[in-house]
Structure 1
Amino acid sequence: MATVNEAVERMEWKRARVSQKRQVTIPQKLFEQAGIKDEVEFGIKGNHIIMRPVREHTGSDYFADLILADLIKEGYTGEQLLAKFREKQAELQVAVQQLIAESADVARSYRGTGEDETKKLFGDVIED
């Protein structure tokens, strides 16, 4: 299992100066490869700063856009489109609730067994 440090060491690296105002210019190649548009967000894991592009469509908005695009491709319009969209959204909510319930059941079944619950549920994960 690779650790975060091992994964970071295998990355392509570019140097950049940090200005007195803590500003950094992102090398163009990395900027393009990451798909950065207008904004980035930062996180920290151990002593590593992680920067990633902000994605406009996340969570339920993302799925709503996918549902709507599929229904339009299927030829739905007007009131029929709206009704079918609401139906698909309700189906999605039920499916998500079922997944949450199932994952909670699986997690409970491993509790107290001494086994690595995360590894059992998700396989190998990168850890710091």
Structure 2
Amino acid sequence: MEATATPKEHTSKMVDSVEPRRVRISSKHQLTIPADLFAKAGLSNEALLEFDPIGKRIIIKPSKPYEGYDFSEELLSDLVHQGLTGQKLITEFSRLKSQIPSALKQMLEDKTNEAKKVPIMTPDMSLDEYLDKLPEEEEDN
């Protein structure tokens, strides 16, 4: 025998869910999220966007600053290895952790500038011609 939801259970499930809504997508592939959905989802000026190829769905999730870039274990391990303990450990950990976003930004800028120096292969160029334009890599001895 299949269990069915009571009217109260059914109503409580409906409170959490929101009926699908049709929204326009601009020629630049932009869409506007209705304000009530935006608030209910906990979104801000940045979000994580995922594509579910099985369900053919785009999933929008709230983003946390620098999500996926938590170096806490590495920082703590290094500081403990340096012999720091107690309040000195906490103070230095906080100082270093606050520098992570700017360090990541600087690394990205450095790699972007490095990439700009790499020549672009044009359709009329042979692979050998392109490879000849690449800077020589220094060998580590």
Q: TM-score range by the shorter chain?
A: 0.3 to 0.5
TM-score computed with the length of structure 1 as normaliser: 0.39
More helix by share: 1
Structure 1 or 2, whichever has the larger Rg, is 2
TM-score for the superposition, normalised by structure 2? 0.36
Which structure has the higher relative contact order (CA within 8 Å, separation 6+)? 1
